Structure formats: structure tokens, C-alpha cells
Amino acid sequence: MTGIEKFTSPIGVALDRFISAKQEEFTYATGELSQLLRDIALASKIINREINRAGLSGIEGSIGADNIQGERQQMLDVIADYRFTRALVRGGQTCGIVSEENAEIIDTKNHNAKYIITIDPLDGSSNIDVNVSVGTIFSIYRRKSPIGTPPTLEDVLQKGTEQVAAGYILYGSSTMLVFTTGFGVNGFTYEPSLGEYFLSHPDMTICEDGNIYSVNEGGYYSFPQGVQDYIDECKKKKMRARYIGSLVADFHRNLLKGGIYMYPSTKEYKNGKLRLLYECNSLAFIIEQAGGYASNGEKRILEIEPEEKHQRTPLYIGSKNMVKEVLNRVNVTSIA
Ligand code: AHM
Ligand code: MG
């Protein structure tokens, strides 16, 4: 493309237009889910701004206290949690929020809203000080409790198969919003000068046989034997080892290039480190929609019956045949 063509070619479909067009695909659509996705996108733009100038505005680093998971809370964790909560409360489409940063369900007081959301407002935030990509991960469910009442635990403890939508925002070298409503996966790139997301990755799929394995190998000797064996096999096959230590960034790369991400149970984290409701289920819904697979080593992530809001689970996620291979080695139910 040369000369004037470069400046007159279409930029792409804007997120807003995409959402409105897709809304017609839902027979019972009333626009509430569309509005909810817009609220998330809006909050993400504010977070994106804060992250981009974190080094200048002095908001990198820890607040000097732990969150309810017993993990050091970063200033940007608190800011991201505040921004998303505010956008969702004001947006009016969710009756409740489960956030990594809050022990209890947040009652938005929008008791007439039919959706509930689970969210990790800023995943991988310990990477901010060193300018590495971080992300937001979310899932949306239809509430179980009657409209007009406060949100309940029953609304939150739903299996991943019940998700209406799930997505993530990757604050990376460019910022992207990737989501599914159960009709494939689409990725949007943020254009900061226009303040809008544009469709850049339509119908995303992951190849069945990838060549990247992502795992914190520092924990090798505390992994189950089958996982150690699988890692050894990856090395023998000279696969590429890639681990950023920022789940959304590792997941996104593997989605685009083909690979597996693993966070097994370890001696320190008996049930793995990652959270089922706002990390694993969301990404599992996306990966399955993209043609991949996600398991906890024993069963499909999406079929785990949650027992607790902040429960953890081991995670094996990515290219179908790679996940299959590791499951064969951990000696449990394989993929059909
Ligand atoms: P966080 O939710 O407290 O940020 O922790 C989750 C992060 C993931 O982004 C990342 O994949 C993982 O923890 C890294 O853990 P480790 O340092 O044990 O490899
Ligand atoms: Mg997290």
C-alpha cells in the first residue's frame, strides 16, 4: 500500500459497532450484556492510562499490605479494582462483583440487574515495576437469585459452562481486549489517539499442536511426576520455553502462536496458584471457543463445581494436543 491509500484505507470495525451488530445474534438480547461489555472497555481505557504513566506518577510498587489471598497488594491493584468496581456499579448491569481484591461479594445495589461478574482487575501486577505486560481477566454469568434481590453466593458459585461471556485485557506493547460470548473469540486493539478499540483479530483460533511450553520451571522439583516427565519431553523435542510470569501475556502469546501454559499443584500451592472463578474459568471459556482445551489435570476446567469464591485450581491450558499429552502423563481422564 502506498501514498494516499495508506491514509484512506479502513481502520477496522470499532468495538462499539461490533457489539451492537452482534447483539442481534442473541434472540433474547436486550442490550444489557452489550452495555456491560462497553462498561468494561471504558474502565480498561482508564487503567491503560494509569499503567502507561505508572513510572512517572509514582503509583508503581506495593501499598505495603496484603490482599485477602495473602499476597502483596500493588497500588495499581487497588486503583484497577476501584476503577472497574465504579464502572460496573455506575453502569447498572451487574448485581454483584467478585474481585480478587475483595473477600466478599460486592453488592452493586443494582438489584434489578441480571448479570454477575467475576474479575481479576489487574493480574500479574507485581510485574509493573519492571514494565512487563499485565492484564485484566473477567467472566460474566446470569444470576440465579430472583431479580430485585441482593446477589447471593449461589449466583457466584456457578460452573464455567454457565458463563455468558468472558474476556481479558492485555496491557502490553499495545493494549488489547479479547472476548467471547460463546460465538468464537475476537480480539480488539486499542487506538489511544482515537480512544477506541478496533477489531484487529477476528475469529481467533489456536492450533492443535503448538511448540511453546510455559511454566515456572523454578518449581520443577515440586511438580507432580507426570508434569516433570512432560517438561523433560518438551526439552527433548527442543520446544520453546517461554514464561513471562504474567498469565494474560503468557496465555495471549500461546493463543496466537500455539502452546501450553501450566500451573500445576506444587508443594507450596497444593491446589495450584491460580483462581478458578476469575482466572481459569474465563481463560478456559476463551480457549475452548478458540479450539483449545483447559483442564485441572483431572477434569475439564469448565466443569469444576465451585465451592468457594476464591478457590484455586491447577491449570493446564492451550493447544489441544499438548494438553492431551500432559494429561496422559498425569494419568487422568484424557480429552475425548
Ligand atoms: P496475581 O493474580 O496475584 O497477579 O498472581 C497470578 C500470577 C499470574 O499472572 C502468573 O502466571 C503467575 O501468578 C505467576 O506465578 P509464579 O511467580 O509462581 O510463576
Ligand atoms: Mg491474578
Per-residue pLDDT of the chain (336 residues; tens, 9 = 90+): 666 766 666 668 999 888 888 877 665 567 888 889 999 999 999 999 988 876 666 656 666 667 666 666 778 888 888 999 999 999 999 999 999 888 899 999 999 999 999 999 999 988 877 888 999 999 999 999 999 999 999 999 999 999 999 999 999 999 999 999 999 999 999 999 999 999 999 999 999 999 999 999 999 999 999 999 999 999 999 999 999 999 999 999 999 999 999 999 998 899 999 999 999 999 999 999 999 999 999 999 999 999 999 999 999 999 999 999 999 998 665 555
Question: How far is it, in rounded angstroms, from Cα 194 to Cα 239?
Answer: 40
Q: Which atom of ligand 1 is nearest to the CA of 134?
A: 9
The distance from CA 79 to its chain's CA centroid, rounded to whole angstroms, is 18
For residue 232, what pLDDT is reported?
Answer: 97
**Integer CA distances (angstroms), 48 to 69, 239, 246, 335, in order:** 24, 33, 16, 38
Query: Could you tell me which residues come within 8 angstroms of residue 245 by beta carbon, excluding any fewer than 6 positions away?
Result: 124, 127, 132, 216
Contacts of residues 61-66 at CB distance under 8 Å and 24 or more positions apart, as own/partner, are: 61/129
273 CB under 6 A from ligand 1?
Answer: yes
Residue 218 in contact with ligand 1 by CB distance below 6 A: no
Q: For residue 149, how far is its CA from the centre of ligand 1 (angstroms)?
A: 35
Answer whether 120 contacts ligand 1 (Cβ < 6 A): yes
pLDDT at 65: 67
Structural domains of the chain, with CATH: 11-201 (3.30.540.10), 212-329 (3.40.190.80)
Within 13 A of 145's CA, how many CA atoms are on the CB side?
18
Q: What pLDDT does residue 12 have?
A: 81
- Burial call 203-227: b when 16+ CB within 10 Å, e when fewer: ebebbeebbbbbbeeebeeebbebb
**Per-residue model confidence (pLDDT) at position 60:** 61
Which atom of ligand 1 approaches the CA of 124 most closely?
Answer: 4
CB of 125 shorter than 6 A to ligand 1: yes
Q: Are 138 and 153 in contact (CB under 8 A)?
A: no
Cα distance between residue 231 and residue 298, in whole Å: 18
**Dihedral sign, CA of 128, 132, 136, 137?**
negative
Give the pLDDT confidence score for residue 19 in this predicted structure.
86
- In angstroms, rounded to a whole number, what is the distance separating the alpha carbons of residues 300 and 334? 9
Q: Which three cell numbers stand for residue 260?
A: 501450553
d(CA 211, CA 247): 18
DSSP codes, 82-116: HHHHHHHHHH--EEEEEETT-SS-EE-S-TT--EE
- Looking at residue 331, its pLDDT comes to 67
Q: How many helices (H) and strands (E) does the chain have?
A: 10, 15
Q: Decide whether any atom of ligand 1 lies within 6 Å of the 264 Cβ.
A: no
pLDDT of res. 33: 85
Does residue 51 have its Cβ closer than 6 Å to ligand 1? no
**Alpha carbons 229 and 220: distance in angstroms, whole number:** 10
pTM score: 0.92
Q: What is the structure's pLDDT at 54?
A: 65
pLDDT at 332: 60
What is the reported pLDDT for 271? 94
Residue of 273, 275, 277 best suited for mutating to test ligand 1, as the one with most atoms within 8 Å of CB: 273
Residues 6+ apart with CB under 8 A from 139: 117, 118, 119, 160, 163, 165, 166, 277, 278, 281, 282, 285
CA of 216, closest atom in ligand 1: 19
Greatest Cα pair distance, the chain, in angstroms, is 61
Nearest Cα to Cα of residue 51 among 87, 84, 75, 82? 75
